């Protein structure tokens, strides 16, 4: 490829990347592609609240495990 074509392709890629808008797939974590090196940037820290629950839980028996899963394990969360 000639240097002019490579320069034009690079310019087009940079222009397209600069126009990128955040992408959100329903309940999935939103992200955007940042032009510098075209990496994917996590935007969750900019949201009002986290996208999903996070934490550590320790249960000591089957009953407490089942109780916890019934309360927090919904597929709708």
pLDDT in tens, 9-19: 777 777 776 66
Count how many Cα atoms sit within 13 Å of the Cα of residue 53 in the half-sphere of its side chain: 10
- What is the pTM (predicted TM-score) of this model? 0.37
- Dihedral sign computed on CA atoms, order 57, 59, 64, 70: positive
User: Does 32 score more than 70 pLDDT?
Assistant: no
Q: Which distant-in-sequence residues (6+ apart) come within 8 Å of 34 by Cβ?
A: 17, 20, 40, 41
Token digits of residue 34: 């940042």
> Where exactly are the structural domains of the chain?
3-72
Q: Contact, 51 vs 28, CB < 8 A?
A: yes
pLDDT in tens, 18-29: 666 666 566 666
Name beta bridge partners: 42: 31
């Amino acid at each position: 490829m000639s240097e002019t074509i490579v320069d034009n392709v690079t310019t087009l890629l940079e222009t397209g990347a600069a126009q990128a808008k955040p992408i959100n797939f329903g309940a999935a974590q939103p992200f955007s592609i940042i032009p510098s090196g075209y990496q994917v940037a996590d935007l969750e820290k900019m949201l009002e609240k986290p996208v999903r629950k996070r934490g550590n839980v320790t249960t000591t028996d089957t009953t407490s495990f089942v109780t916890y899963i019934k309360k927090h394990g919904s597929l709708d969360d």
